[in-house]
Amino acid sequence: MRGHDWGRSPLGPPEGWPPALRTVVGLMLTSSFPMFVAWGAELAFLYNDGYRPIFGARHPTALGRPFAEVWSEIWTDISPLVDRALAGEATYHEDLPLVMERNGYPEETYFTFSYSPLRDEAGQVRGMFCACTETTEKVIAERRLRATEAELRAANARLAAEGEHLRELFRQAPGFMAVVRGPDHVFELANSAYQTLVGHRELMGRPVREAFPDLEGQGFFELLERVHRTGEPFVGHEQPLRIRRGPEGPEEERFLNFVYQPIRDRDGRVTGIFVEGSDVTEARRSAEALKASEERLRVAQEAGAIGTFELRGDGMLAVSETFCRLWGVPPRPLVPLRELAAMIHPEDRPRLTTLTPGAVPEDGLDYVEYRIRRPDTGETRWMARRGQAVRSGRDGGRRVLGVSYDITDRKRIEEELRELNATLECRVAERTADRDRMWRLSTDVMLVARFDGTVTAANPAWMVLLGWAERDLLGRSFLDLIHPDDLPATQAESARLAAGRTTRNFENRYRHKDGSYRWLSWIAVPDADLIHAVGRDVTAQKEADAALRQAQKMEAVGQLTGGVAHDFNNLLQVIGGNLQLLLRDIAGQERAEHRVRNALTAVSRGSKLASSLLAFARRQPLEPRAVDLGRLIRNLDDMIRRAIGEEIEIETISAAGLWNTLVDPTQVENALLNLAINARDAMNGRGRLTIETGNAVLDDEYALRHGDLRPGQYVMLAVTDTGCGMAPAVLDRVFEPFFTTKPEGQGTGLGLSMVYGFVKQSGGHVKIYSEPGQGTTIRLYLPRTHQEEDLAVELDSGPAGGGSETILVVEDDEEVRATVVEMLSDLGYRVLQARDAQSALVVLESGVPVDLLFTDVVMPGPLRSPDLARKARERLPDLAVLFTSGYTQNAIVHGGRLDAGVELLSKPYTREALARKVRHVLRNQAQQNAARHAAQARTPALPGVAGAGALRILLVEDEVLIRLATAEMLADLGHEVIEAGDAEEALSLAETEAVDLLMTDLTLPGLSGGELADRLRQRIPGLPVIFASGHDMEGGRSGRRPGGNTVHLQKPYDLMALSEALRVALRTV
């Protein structure tokens, strides 16, 4: 520039230039950063050496020429920007695209630059100053990066996102300028870009060190001082900077391209420093990403079998080794296009419009998929190609760079995906059908309604559950069906749904079309302006909960009742026994006899009251038998007619083929008489009483609605009257003890509670139906049995008599014991007595002959009555045992039934009842003793068993009295018995004892009887087994189970049934 002849230019010699022009030109010429100045009316162009590469071949002819002439091809683009600078406005432009012809052909270029107005001494704008950076390579790199990312987006979508983020950051990065003066480097000027960079601090008039205390130790202050001292400019390239952009902000690291250019006065002294540069943090990061991307592309091409090629204008392809390997041609750098075209499938050639040799498309190559036939293997493969047209920077020729890769596997996967999509469409259709089926077939009610309650859809379950068809509900508010007591809570829940909340387990009652109500538990969700709800019927659960609460209340009352009954019956026994003895002493005194008989009548009533309480509490000992209810009702016909009077018509209906039921017939008679008398009172002595029997099957659904009921087969006994009926409030309490609707003095309130307790104790079910003015029906469901009817014969119906045997009375209540001893002595028996079980055992071990042990069930002390009976029979096998109690406490009663072989006389009892029971027990025991002795005498020896004529039987039973009675019967049959209370004890005994047969209860604590049998048969193959069970079993008492010598024996069993079971079990021995 110094060698240029400026005298011939509009500016004239430099000596005559304005100071402002000389200053900025001096600044420009000392900077290596690309800069130019345009001055004067024609904007004469001046530039420094850093700007020369931008000019290309136009240097040096451009010096001093008008700006518009120098850059004529881009003047249309930049003239508006120049006008703004000449108007006094500084402008900044980043990555501005310009098409220049600086090398003889149009080139796409990009520049980041700023235009600043230059003023003369008068303040008039005379020209403009530009500092610029050519960013063409960066922009092209970004474009290539985008193209590369497009190629790899399937493999690296994340890099594309990061690249886009980096490009966005880079596009927005500004340049910055500032001027500092003096040795302290006081800020004189700073543009907005600089302020943005440093965080908008207070700069003007402040030294650098004061403005930037956080830059201490980073070298910037030292660089400024060196430039000021030496006058040599400093160019920083990607210089790191750690700075806080706000007082509370984090420390950031930035990278800068900048120039520290000394500013000199007329004498050449450095008076300040011009700072100019740009934040290249994002450019640095972008370059690093590009480098990494290119490296990944290279690795991906090698690892992913991507071949590259260059389509040239001479009909040849410059290819990579991977390309040759994919196409199956020998590796070489150049392959003729015609050779490759011949390998393409004929059907795909029309899609490839660039197969003509010498044709180089200006817009590159679109993505195309096609098939080739490899010449090396003859295999058909699917390929894809894509390319981009570029122009050579040297000769301006066009070429296409592209990639080719094998997509055979992808095409196969796409075909599989198409098939899968077809399958998925089928599945979606199936799911839709499933949803529709669920709507149609669900047993839960489903509802779609508006928030005001208007029903828009309802599924068919409404008809099944509540009797409402969808047409009955559409357009109607579901609130119309809510029970009045539940309406406020339902409205509040609807409001919560309208507020966007979800409803779970909300319960209310809905009216059935027949007027009844059902409990529903709802799950509901809001969706736009609709409610979607599903309701489950929980009526059975509600009823079960109520039944549970009622059962718990009854259990509590029963516990109290049982304790009271025991003491009360002992008192009645003392009173009644002594009154009977007194009656004998006052024989012939009519008045005294009358009073004593009245007192005995009161004792009898008290006994019945206690019995009713025990029946209600389900603690009375039952003696169930297989009963034909039809026969039992026919036998009671006369008694019922006498009880209810002649004004009431009785109708009896008995179903054909009536099943037998396993119940205590005495308690059935009492229950039927109670129901008949209640019906009579409800009809005021006039009306019709219907007694009906039939078979019934209560299914799972019915049982689910009645929590304590097992589904199965039952025999139904129904009593229907035409009386006044009962209101719902009365029905809810009808089975409670002492509740009655009769006038005071006309009922105890225990009749129906006694019936209820007896039926439940028998494993049955009670249902009552009644409406005011319509009468009442009470149905008793008693469990069916497959046993044949047990036609019991009363053997002790004659006059009560005594005997001369010896009886040991064991009773802890002294008054009761004294009374019983006197009554038995009066009957002619020899009587011994003991106050507890331990004392009784001492008497038995003394050797005194005893024929009958008469013991109370409930006694104090460590030795229980059942254990006393077992020990007594171990010492005296021929001993008879009779229990007595006012309350058994499950000692000899299990499942509401007397244990097998147990004889019980319930307190209080009369002298006659005592006499008959004692004679009955003694007579039965004598028969059993005779049978046992006879069996021992005639039983032949069996092969393979211990002893002559005897088996060693392992008896396993956890109930002591059942074990005691069974052991006695087995001994009567001449066998040796080894007793165990559970499976563990039995297994231990089997290790030391020889065992010929196992007889076990099926239900044992710990290991079951079945598991015990399996384990013993592992030790003793072929061991005969008898399973005893209280559960009813098909096929009779001793039917053989598949598996050979295994027999089921139904409890309760007698000596004959046990003998038959032994015979069947031993049949294969």
pLDDT over 80 (residue 72): yes
Type of residue numbered 533? A
Band (511; pLDDT cuts 50, 70, 90): very high
Give mean pLDDT, residues 363-370. 83
Q: Which distant-in-sequence residues (6+ apart) come within 8 Å of 61 by Cβ?
A: none
For the segment 187-200, the average pLDDT, to the nearest whole number, is 87
Cβ atoms of residues 580 and 601 within 8 Å: no
* Position 795 confidence tier, pLDDT thresholds 50, 70, 90: very low
Chain segment 567-594, per-residue pLDDT in tens: 666 677 667 667 777 877 887 888 887 7
Residues 113 and 83: their CA atoms lie apart, in Å, by 15
pLDDT at 948: 36
Nearest one of 896, 889, 881 to 857, comparing CA atoms:
889
- Residue 356's pLDDT is 60
Q: Percent of the chain at pLDDT above 90? A: 28
Q: Element (H or E) spanning 934, and its range?
A: helix 911-938
pLDDT at res. 449: 93
- Give me the pLDDT at residue 1041, please: 42
Q: What is the pLDDT of residue 173?
A: 40
pLDDT confidence band for 1005 (50 / 70 / 90): confident
pLDDT in tens, 384-399: 888 887 766 555 566 7
Highest mean pLDDT among 9-13, 261-265, 1036-1040: 261-265
CA distance 693 to 653: 6
Query: What rounded mean pLDDT belongs to the chain?
Result: 82
* pLDDT at residue 456 in the model: 93
At 1014-1041, the pLDDT tens digits run 999 888 888 999 998 765 544 333 333 4
| Token representation of residue 758 | 């007896």
What is residue 732's predicted lDDT score, i.e. its pLDDT? 73
Which pLDDT belongs to residue 1040?
Answer: 37
CA–CA separation, 1014 and 1006 (whole Å): 15
Least confident of 455-459, 602-606, 905-909, 1058-1062: 602-606
DSSP label of 29: H
Question: Which pLDDT score is estimated for 119?
Answer: 92
pLDDT bin (cut points 50, 70, 90) of residue 1044 is: low
Task: Pick the closest to residue 955 from 870, 854, 1068 (CA basis).
Answer: 870
CA distances (Å), 977 to each of 994, 1000, 1003, in order? 11, 12, 20
d(CA 265, CA 541): 102
> How much is the average pLDDT of 352-379?
78
Distance of CA 1015 to the CA centre of its chain: 39
- Separation of alpha carbons 842 and 836, rounded Å: 10
Question: Bridge partners of 530?
Answer: 450, 527
CA atoms of 195 and 349, how far apart (whole Å): 61
Lowest mean pLDDT among 263-272, 743-752, 904-913: 743-752
The 3-state secondary structure of 761-779 reads: HCCCEEEEEEECCCEEEEE
| pLDDT per residue as tens digits for the range 839-891 | 898 888 888 889 999 998 877 888 888 888 888 888 888 899 998 876 544 44
* Extended beta strands in 589-677, E state: 625-627, 648-654, 660-663
Residue 1022's pLDDT is what? 84
Q: 88: burial class by Cβ within 10 Å (0-12, 13-18, 19+)?
A: exposed
User: What confidence category does residue 946 fall into, taking pLDDT thresholds of 50, 70 and 90?
Assistant: very low
Instruction: Return the pLDDT at 746.
Output: 52
Mean pLDDT of 486-494: 93
According to DSSP, residue 939 is labeled P
Q: What is the pLDDT of residue 589?
A: 84
Radius of gyration of the chain (CA): 57
Q: Does the pLDDT of residue 947 top 80, yes or no?
A: no
The answer for residues whose C-beta is within 8 angstroms of residue 74's C-beta and 6 or more apart is 98, 99, 100
**Which of 58-67, 483-492, 720-729, 816-825 holds the top average pLDDT?**
483-492
Residues 562, 610: Cα–Cα separation, whole Å: 9
Collapsing DSSP to helix, strand or coil, 884 comes out as: strand
Would the pTM count as exceeding 0.85?
Answer: no
Q: Residue 195 belongs to what H/E stretch?
A: helix 192-198
What local confidence, expressed as pLDDT, does residue 354 receive? 59
**What mean pLDDT do residues 313-342 have?**
88
553 pLDDT above the threshold of 50: yes
Residue type, 484: P
DSSP state of 788: P
In terms of pLDDT, which residue wins out, 741 or 984? 984
* pLDDT tops 60 at residue 618: no
Q: Has residue 512 got a pLDDT over 90?
A: yes
For the segment 213-262, what is each residue's pLDDT rounded down to a tens digit? 888 888 899 999 999 999 999 999 988 988 887 777 788 888 999 999 99
Q: Which domains does the chain have, with CATH numbers?
A: 6-134 (3.30.450.20), 174-279 (3.30.450.20), 305-406 (3.30.450.20), 442-537 (3.30.450.20), 622-792 (3.30.565.10), 939-1069 (3.40.50.2300)
pLDDT class for 738, splitting at 50, 70, 90?
low
Q: Which two tokens stand for residue 488?
A: 């406020």
* 931 against 872, higher pLDDT: 872
Residue whose pair of structure tokens reads 């019956």 in the numeric block: 569
The sign of the torsion formed by the CA atoms of 883, 889, 891, 896 equals positive
